Copies of this chain bind each other. A is one copy, B any other.
Amino acid sequence: MFAGVDLGGTNFTVVLAEADGQIVAEDKQPTASHEGPAAVLERLAGRIERLATATGRPLASLGIGVPGLVDVATGVTRFLPNLPTQWRDVPVGTTLSARLNCPVHVLNDARAATLGEAMFGHGRDARTMILFTLGTGIGGGVVIDGQLRLGPLGAAGEMGHICVEPDGLWCSCGSRGCLETYASGPALTAEGVRLLLSGNAPRLHELCGGDPARVSCETLGAAARAGDPGAQAALERAGSYLGQAAAAAVLTLHPDLIVLAGGVAALDELLIAPLRRTLHQRVRMFPADGIRIARSQLGVRAGVYGGLAAAIRGGNINRTAA
């Protein structure tokens, strides 16, 4: 029995599965990260243990994605921007390994989502793919010739911080004009609020009853689908920035697949259509037609499937093919 975990700032998800990825049990709980890493990891281990006991089979291995940088070799967290600071330098790997008595593989959540998509999603048919996780921030991952690319710090794939406007908005990372500042969930919501207050988004206004607090990626998407020109322009712009960042990675690597994952990817063609247009405008050195662009097949479960993939592949998390 293998376990995959997606540890988020708000919730954690646990799945137990067979070696072929067949899910046997699943659980979702609030992270309550303010309780501190020791309490949360103990509670997480307890849930996993209970699920495993119910299956009557021992746990062979566990893989876990965490929201930030992690030392992949040791399983120690480094910089987790969406969790309280006491989550820095936490030995997640050895803590869970000692508690559950099995090998534990820790990786960044976006890299986990990429591994999940590569092994169980659209990436099964791709040699080389790039993936963006669109949520509170924008993360990403790269698979090259079937191998998840980690780099020396597990940090390869940070395409959310590619500069798309040299003198653009300041980003939480300390740089400016990063893709994340234009196409993350909060960026889109802020743009929606601005639109609402400008009076140039009649359908959005209707959908939200004029209340800025009800503006979200969902209402913005619904307004765009209902023909709101302001909402359409806002998503066109975000998708175009995504295309510009994707073009930089495409020119570097020429992948055959680009995947959008994370909650904001539910906007689907509202983002993918302008992404595709911009990619074709920006990649002229070789035909980009052959590059497939798709929303994650695994949806919000890409990350937990990635943890599972890391568990199933054991020490060999750097390969998606045996």
Contact = CB atoms under 8 A, between A and B. Distances in A.
Nearest to A162: B248
Give the number of times this chain occurs in the complex, counting copies: 2
Contact of A247 (B149, B151, B162, B283): B162
B162 A286 contact: no
A15 B115 CA distance: 44
A149 B253 CA distance: 7
Nearest to A255: B151
A140 B161 CA distance: 22
Given A175-B284, A284-B174, A163 B248 contact: yes
B256 A253 contact: no
A36 B158 CA distance: 46
A281 interface: yes
A254 interface: yes
Interface residues of A, number: 44
A283 B144 contact: no
Interface in A247-300: 247-249, 251-256, 281-287, 290
Contacts of A171: 284
A211 interface: no
A256 to B, nearest CB: 7
Nearest to A248: B248
Contacts of A248: 159, 162-163, 245, 248-249, 252
Given A144-B149, A156-B252, A245-B248, 4 more contacts: A152-B254, A152-B290, A161-B283, A173-B285
